[in-house]
């Protein structure tokens, strides 16, 4: 009877030990499974983050390319605008040339020189109510004010203003050299005729 009891006790102890061992093994297996799943989830999350970063990089590259395309288009538009402006300027110049043939003729006429006698030295001369420039025996009209070497200012209407402010008016046929000195008129009885002072003086 005692042996039988001992047998049952041994069986019970053995069964308990197996049960405890099985419980421990299950807990260990469950823990390992949880760790494996956790590592898998972490890896999947890392892969997802990497993919998102790649997508962001690709989007940034695409944005940069679009910006470059826009800049290139703007440059092309600017070049086209400059070409149009240049063409417009050229058209305006051509139109002005067509609209002003008289001006061109007048300029050509002014460029034509009138020969005078060799007796006239270089200088300025009042002829037919106009101031003329004599140079190398050729005469052209004075269309701008000029200042001589002695400081005398000569205007196209024949008005002369000396350096001291004295205002004079050249008379028909009078001749002045480039130094501001009057040249005697051979055809006039008064070979030493000077400028006739105007009533007004520059103060």
User: Do residues 133 and 124 make contact, with C-beta atoms less than 8 angstroms apart?
Assistant: yes
Backbone angles phi, psi at 34, to 5 degrees: -65, -40
What pLDDT, in 10s, does the model give residues 107-140? 555 544 444 545 568 889 998 888 999 988 888 9
pLDDT in tens, 151-174: 999 998 999 998 899 998 999 989
| CA dist., res. 128 & res. 109, Å (int) | 17
Domain map (residue ranges) of the chain: 55-99, 118-197
Q: Could you give the residue ranges of the DSSP H alpha helices within 100-145? A: 101-111
Residue 195 has pLDDT above 50, yes or no: no
Closest of 143, 138, 160, 139 to residue 151, by C-alpha: 160
What's the length of the chain? 203
């Amino acid at each position: 009877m005692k042996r039988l009891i001992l047998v049952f006790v041994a069986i019970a102890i053995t069964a308990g030990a197996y049960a405890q061992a099985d419980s421990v093994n299950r807990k260990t297996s469950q823990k390992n499974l949880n760790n494996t799943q956790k590592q898998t989830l972490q890896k999947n999350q890392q892969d997802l983050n990497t993919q998102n970063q790649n997508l962001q990089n690709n989007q940034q590259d695409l944005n940069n390319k679009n910006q470059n395309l826009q800049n290139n288009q703007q440059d092309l538009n600017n070049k086209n605008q400059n070409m149009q402006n240049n063409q417009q300027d050229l058209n305006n110049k051509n139109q002005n040339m067509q609209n002003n043939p008289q001006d061109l003729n007048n300029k050509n006429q002014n460029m034509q020189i009138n020969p005078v006698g060799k007796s006239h030295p270089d200088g300025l001369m009042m002829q037919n109510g106009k101031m003329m420039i004599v140079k190398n025996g050729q005469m052209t009209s004075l269309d701008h004010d000029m200042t001589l070497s002695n400081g005398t200012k000569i205007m196209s209407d024949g008005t002369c203003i000396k350096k001291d402010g004295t205002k004079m008016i050249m008379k028909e046929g009078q001749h002045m050299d480039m130094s501001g000195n009057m040249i005697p008129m051979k055809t006039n009885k008064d070979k030493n005729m000077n400028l006739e002072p105007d009533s007004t003086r520059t103060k």
